[in-house]
Amino acid sequence: MTHRSKIAIFSILGQTAVFVPLYNEASRATTAGIPLEGQISLWAAFFLKLLGLSVAVTVVGTILLQMILQLRGKESVFTVTDERDRLIEAKAVRNFCYVFCFGFFLGMLLIVLGQSAALLFHAFAFSYLAAGIVLYLSYIFHYERGY
Amino acid sequence: MASAIRNKIRYYRFINSEMTQQELAERTGVTRQTILATESDKYSPSLELAFRIAAVFQQPLEEIFSFHPEETKQN
């Protein structure tokens, strides 16, 4: 398995580990009978925390994992990012966008069908998680397939 | 899926004092994984990389790489 695939697996675990407690906290807070304005503010804080923490966990985790892999292996890790890496990144980000857009329009559909605004944010939260997982799975798929 | 571009990188590495994939990667400015994927016909390199590889072996491009579209259609 390539180094980048190992880092992608770590990123999936890291993102999920950040998402679960934050989502539980936000869900509990928003089901406590708070008015809609308060709920929106709580969800906004949730998304900002989620973004910040997931970026921090991914960056710190990637640096640590690179150090470990470099110590264990003979080959240097990430010395070059070449055309194939950029192509794989473009494909992975494209898949991320597809899933995230699907979640966004699913949220819009829920509103049109008369569901509560809170459900919209639940859809956004899960589409963000799913899009992140698809992003890293795309990396693993392309690196392991050899493309 | 195999690429429609075939290559003789393995052969030319062999006759160039068993040049390693890592060495070829360093001389062409890409990762060893890209050389590995190219050599095993799993990745079609850009024209620039193909020229760089040919330049390392001091051969014309068409000597290292060949195009076989009919094989891709069969796959």
**Would you list the domain boundaries of chain A?**
3-145
| 3-state SS class at A81 | coil
A92-99's contacts with Cβ under 8 Å and 24+ in sequence apart are A92/A135, A92/A136, A92/A138, A92/A139, A92/A142, A93/A135, A95/A134, A95/A135, A95/A138, A96/A131, A96/A132, A96/A134, A96/A135, A96/A138, A97/A131, A98/A134, A99/A127, A99/A130, A99/A131, A99/A134
**A-B contacts (CB, under 8 Å):** 37
Domain edges within chain B: 5-69
Query: What's the pLDDT band for B75 if we cut at 50, 70, 90?
Result: very low
DSSP β-bridge partners for residue B7: B65
* ipTM value greater than 0.90: no
Whether A37 shows a pLDDT value over 70: the answer reads yes
Domain B5-69: top CATH class: mainly alpha
Residue of B nearest to A147 (CA): B43
pLDDT tens per residue across span A42-65? 899 999 999 999 999 989 988 888
Chain B partners of A89 at a C-beta cutoff of 8 Å? none
